[in-house]
């Protein structure tokens, strides 16, 4: 009975799987004597979608399992228990609220369709005595400092970027307090295995450009390596269009996508590097890419579910096809284009593809094969380690000509291959068959 009388705040972790710079976590600590964390491996996210793909395939699922295990460990160091369930949040969260007499839930603010449906399902089950406190905590530029009305967000990235760089400051990172050991509770819950999630185990390909583990600990190690140990950041602008190896780009996107790394943390570490070693085009370009990431989030805040519609935010009335044989050849890397094929095989075998590769295979899918771009986006959602709803659909709309590209360009994949894979090193890596 004593447990029932404690003033407990519940932190519902979603795509904010970290202890650094986490406003929901810090708010709960400040407002309650006791804090519990919860993470739900939502069954829906491992089901098959309307296009026939699993919403989350094995690569990102394994990365997520590693991330949640790391979060659990890091929270324990703060004397906070993390309850983990393989169930819908609308099933698990009300049960936990009832058991621990929770009156307030702290979580990251989401605004896209599926996340809102989950929120509404929880609110319908919980009585008004439980309030959900949501925080924007996945941006570089906090929405409260950017706009009072998201309808005013520019439709062209350059206009957006220039205004932000000129008028808006990036907030400092949030420091997270440590609670006393009395805060820890008995925790019989387990993190599900890949098999329990309905997925097959796998060995990481030796050829992968992303050989890293999930979780905040690995993210901070990678950030420190890229900036301060190797100082590769100083050459990022020259190498970022690379295709082979782990160091041509930062590789931070999978951790940013599930929130085990904060965009602000990346920004302030880059600033620290610049203070110590000087700034150049490359250090700026890391921040430039973070602004692009923000931009797609603001576009989805502005247009809501338009980003999932076939006509995109431009409501273009193009004719798209849905030819299963053509789509399968694209997925399997069996098209007429060897550069597209190499990239698609890399994705299929590793869950990773370079930014340059993504632009080419997406353009080829939409502009050359003339297939419904949403099918390509759904396949990327299933496969990519760094799937992020805003960037994924924003980029696919962009290359399909229904989004934020005013020029509606089509990539010449063979010219791109000549430019970025001059000696065919990348294509040989993924297309050549060997016996041993």
Evaluate whether residue 202 is within a structural domain.
no
Same domain, 79 and 116: yes
Domain range for 240: 216-305
Residues 264 and 345 in one domain: no
Cα 2 → chain centroid: 40
Which two structure tokens, joined as six digits, stand for 81? 């228990």
For residue 178, being part of any structural domain is answered with no
Say whether both 127 and 6 belong to one domain.
Answer: yes
CATH, residue 119: 3.40.50.620
- Give a yes or no: residue 251 inside a domain: yes
What is the C-alpha separation between 416 and 272, in angstroms, rounded? Answer: 35
Same domain, 244 and 264: yes
Alpha-carbon distance of 345 to 433, in angstroms, equals: 12
Domain count of the fold of the chain: 3
Residues 114, 227 share a domain? no
Instruction: Select from 251, 286, 305 the last residue of a domain.
Output: 305
356 and 294 assigned to the same domain: no
Edge-first strand order for the sheet with 34-40 is 81-85, 34-40, 8-12, 104-108, 131-135
Radius of gyration of the chain (CA): 22
Domain boundary among 278, 305, 332: 305
Contact partners, residue 189, CB within 8 Å, separation at least 6: 83, 84, 85
| 436 residues of the chain, pLDDT tens digit each | 344 468 999 999 999 999 999 999 999 999 999 999 999 999 999 999 999 999 999 999 999 999 999 999 999 999 999 999 999 999 999 999 999 999 999 999 999 999 999 999 999 999 788 999 999 999 999 999 999 999 999 999 999 999 999 999 999 999 999 999 999 999 999 999 999 999 999 999 999 999 999 999 999 999 999 999 999 999 999 999 999 999 999 999 999 999 999 999 999 999 999 999 999 999 999 999 999 999 999 999 999 999 999 999 999 999 999 999 999 999 999 999 999 999 999 999 999 999 999 999 999 999 999 999 999 999 999 999 999 999 999 999 999 999 987 677 899 999 999 999 999 999 999 998 754 4
Contact 356, 416 (CB under 8 A): yes
> pTM of this prediction?
0.95
CATH code for position 327: 1.10.579.10
- Element spanning 104, H or E: strand 104-108
H-helix or E-strand containing 40?
Answer: strand 34-40
Dist. CA 218–CA 216, nearest whole Å: 6
Tell whether 329 and 416 lie within a shared domain.
Answer: yes
Residue at a domain's end among 282, 305, 328: 305
Same structural domain for residues 284 and 343? no
How far is the first Cα of the chain from the last one, in angstroms, to the nearest whole number?
A: 64
Is residue 200 included in any domain, yes or no?
no
Alpha carbon distance 425, 436 (integer Å): 19
Residues 300 and 317 in one domain: no
Residue 386 domain flag: yes
């Amino acid at each position: 009975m004593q447990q029932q009388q404690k003033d407990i705040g519940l932190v519902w972790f979603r795509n904010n799987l970290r202890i650094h710079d986490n406003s929901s976590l810090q708010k709960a600590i400040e407002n309650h004597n006791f804090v519990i964390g919860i993470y739900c491996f939502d069954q829906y996210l491992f089901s098959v979608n309307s296009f026939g793909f699993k919403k989350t395939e094995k690569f990102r699922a394994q990365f997520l399992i590693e991330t949640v295990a790391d979060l659990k460990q890091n929270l324990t160091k703060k004397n906070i228990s993390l309850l983990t369930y393989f169930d819908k949040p609308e099933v698990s969260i009300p049960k936990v609220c009832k058991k621990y007499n929770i009156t307030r839930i702290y979580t990251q603010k989401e605004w896209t369709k599926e996340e809102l449906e989950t929120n509404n399902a929880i609110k319908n089950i919980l009585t008004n005595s439980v309030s959900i406190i949501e925080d924007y905590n996945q941006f570089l530029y906090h929405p409260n400092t950017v706009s009072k009305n998201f309808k005013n967000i520019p439709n062209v990235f350059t206009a957006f970027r220039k205004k932000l760089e000129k008028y808006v400051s990036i907030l400092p990172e949030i420091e997270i307090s440590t609670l006393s050991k009395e805060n820890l509770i008995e925790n019989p819950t387990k993190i599900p295995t890949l098999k329990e999630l309905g997925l097959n185990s796998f060995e990481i390909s030796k050829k992968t450009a992303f050989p890293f583990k999930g979780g905040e600990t690995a993210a901070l190690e990678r950030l420190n390596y890229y900036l301060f140990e190797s100082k590769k950041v100083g050459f990022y602008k020259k190498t970022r269009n690379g295709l082979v190896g782990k160091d041509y780009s930062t590789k931070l996107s999978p951790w940013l996508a599930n929130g085990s790394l904060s965009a602000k943390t990346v920004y302030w570490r880059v600033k620290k590097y610049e203070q110590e070693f000087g700034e150049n085009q490359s250090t700026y370009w890391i921040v430039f890419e973070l602004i692009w990431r923000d931009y797609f989030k603001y576009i989805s805040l502005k247009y809501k579910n338009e980003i999932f519609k076939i006509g995109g935010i431009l409501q273009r009335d193009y004719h798209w096809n849905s030819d299963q044989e053509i789509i399968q050849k694209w997925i399997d890397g069996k098209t007429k284009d060897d550069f597209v094929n190499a990239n698609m095989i890399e994705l299929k075998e590793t869950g990773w593809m370079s930014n340059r590769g993504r632009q080419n295979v997406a353009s080829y899918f939409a502009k050359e094969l003339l297939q419904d771009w949403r099918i390509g986006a759904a396949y990327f959602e299933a496969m990519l380690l760094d799937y992020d709803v805003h960037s994924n659909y924003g980029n696919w709309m962009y290359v399909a000509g229904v989004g934020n590209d005013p020029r509606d360009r089509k990539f010449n994949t063979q010219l791109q291959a000549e430019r970025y894979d001059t000696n065919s090193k990348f294509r040989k890596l993924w297309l050549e068959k060997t016996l041993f």
